[in-house]
Chain A
Amino acid sequence: MPQPVDRRQFMKIAGTSLGIGALFKVSALASPESAHIQRLLGKKNGEAPTPFSFVQLSDTHVGFEGPPNPLGTKAFERAVEMINSLPEAPELVLFTGDLTHDSEKPGEHADRMRLFRKIAGGLRAPLIHYVPGEHDAALDGGALFRDALGDTSYSFDHRGVHFVALDNVSAGKPRVGPAQLDWLRKDLARFPTTAPIVLFTHRPLFDLRPDWEWFTGDGDQVLEAIAPYENVTVLYGHIHREHVHTEGHATHYAARSLIFAFPDPAAGVPKKPLPFDSDKPFQNLGVRAVTEASGHPQVHEVELTLREYSGTVGIQQILKEGESL
C-alpha cells in the first residue's frame, strides 16, 4: 500500500515576469509520488488535476460615480486589456461580486449590468464565472443577477479542480442560509478530502471585521463543511483590499477592487474609501492571478499600475476629449 505523500512534494512553482507583475505557474513534479497522487485523484474525481491558470476579478462596481474614483470603469477596462495581453491566456476568469453598483432609478441597475457584461465580454477567456455581491443582488433577492448571468450558487469541475460558487448576499443579510449549506455539504460529499477545491464568494466567510460588515453570519457552518478537505482555497472580494487568512486546511484570499480601496481594518481608522490619487489612479486596485496545478493553488498579486497612466498627463490620455476629473 503506498505511503501518504506530503502535498508539497509534488509541486513546482516558477515565476514569470510579465512586465506588469508576475504570474506564477505551478506544475507537477516529474516524480513517481506526484504521478501517483494525480492518478489517484483522477480515478476518484473522473479527471486528474492538470496545470492551468485562472484570474480572479472583483468589485468592479460598474455605475459607481464619486470622488474615490472619478475614472469609473477605466480600471476594469484596463484589467480586461491586461488579461487579454497575458502571453498565456487564462482558461478561466472568476468574478467575486459587486459587479455593478446598485441603483433605484428604474432601469438604471439593468443598464449597469448590461455595461458590465459588455466590458466583461471583452475577456478572451474560454470560461467566465460569477457570484453576486450585495450591490448586485441584495435589493432584489438576486433577480437581476440571475436574469443576466445565471444562478447565484453552483459548482463545476475544471481540470480536476472542483469550483464552488457560494452566494452570501442575496438574502439581504450576510448569510448563506440553510438550504445552500445543505447543498454545499452534499456537493462536497462526493469528493475525496485530497481533492483540490476552490470556493469563491463575495463576503469573507470568517469574522474579519464584523463591525464593518466584513463577515458572514453563518460562515462558521461553511468552514465546518469544508474543514475535512485538505486543499481548499477560498477567494472572495467585498473588502476592496488584499487579505490572507488561514483557518484549518483552507486559505482565504481577498482580491482588490477595481473601483476604490478600503483602509487596513487594523489601522484604527474609519471605514472610508482611500482617497483618489491622480498621480497613481490605479493605486491599490488590482487583479489577482491564480495558477492551479495538481494540488494546492498558488496566488500572486498582479499590480494594475501602469507607467503610461501615471501622473496627470497620463490621466488626460485616458479621459475622453473635454472630459474632466
Chain B
Amino acid sequence: MSRFRILGRSVAAMAIVALFAVAGARADEAPRVVTISAKRFEFAPNQLTLKKGETVTLKVTSEDVKHGFFSRQLHIDADLTPGQTVEVPLTPSAAGTFTIICDHFCGAQHGNMKLTVVVE
C-alpha cells in the first residue's frame, strides 16, 4: 500500500510539475505575430480574424509612403514610416467587427485603405 501511496504521490507531484511547466511555457510564449504590409491604397492582408482576449503583435511595414494605422475602438494609433516596421500589440477585449484605417492622407484613393478585424 505504502509503495502505491508513494507512487501515487510521485505521480501527483509529477503532474503538478508538468502543470507548472505548461503554465510557464504559456506565460513565456511570445504572442502570435501577424505581418501586415501597407502600400497605397491597401493593407495586405486586408482582413484578420482574432480571438477575443488573444494577444497578438501586428508587425506593420509601409512599402511606399507615410501611412497611418488607426482604430479608435481598438486603441491603435501608429505612424508608418517607409522602410520601418512598427509593432502594434493588440488584445481585443470584445467580439465584433472593427476597422483599422490609414489616417495619414496618401493620395486620391486614401479613403479606401482599411483593414477589417473580426474578433470572435
A binding-site residues for B, Cβ under 8 Å? 101-104, 134-135, 138-139, 169, 172-174, 207, 210-213, 215, 217, 271
Contact = CB atoms under 8 A, between A and B. Distances in A.
Interface in B60-115: 66, 68, 70-73, 77, 79, 98-99, 101, 103-105, 107-108, 110-111, 114
Contacts of A134: 105, 110
A211 B105 CA distance: 14
A102 B108 contact: yes
19 contacts: A134-B105, A134-B110, A138-B105, A139-B105, A172-B66, A172-B68, A172-B104, A172-B105, A173-B79, A173-B105, A210-B71, A210-B72, A210-B73, A211-B72, A211-B98, A211-B114, A212-B101, A215-B72, A217-B77
B72 A207 contact: yes
Contacts of B71: 210-211
Interface of B: 66, 68, 70-73, 77, 79, 98-99, 101, 103-105, 107-108, 110-111, 114
A161 B41 CA distance: 42
Contacts of B99: 211
A238 to B, nearest CB: 11
B35 to A, nearest CB: 23
B97 to A, nearest CB: 10
Nearest to A172: B104
Contact of B107 (A102, A173, A210, A213): A102
A213 B72 contact: no
A63 B73 CA distance: 34
A271 B77 CA distance: 21
B111 A173 contact: no
B103 A213 contact: yes
Nearest to B66: A172
A138 B107 CA distance: 9
Contacts of A271: 111
Nearest to A170: B105
A196 B4 CA distance: 90
Contacts of A173: 68, 79, 103-105
Nearest to A209: B72
A116 B114 CA distance: 31
Contacts of B108: 101-103, 135
Contacts of A169: 105
B104 A213 contact: no
A135 B106 CA distance: 10
A211 B112 CA distance: 11
Q: Which of A135, A174, A210, A213 has the most CB of B within 10 A?
A: A213
A104 B107 contact: yes
A105 B35 CA distance: 32
B73 A211 contact: yes
A-B pairs, 6 with minimum CB distance:
A138-B105, A210-B72, A211-B99, A134-B105, A172-B104, A173-B104
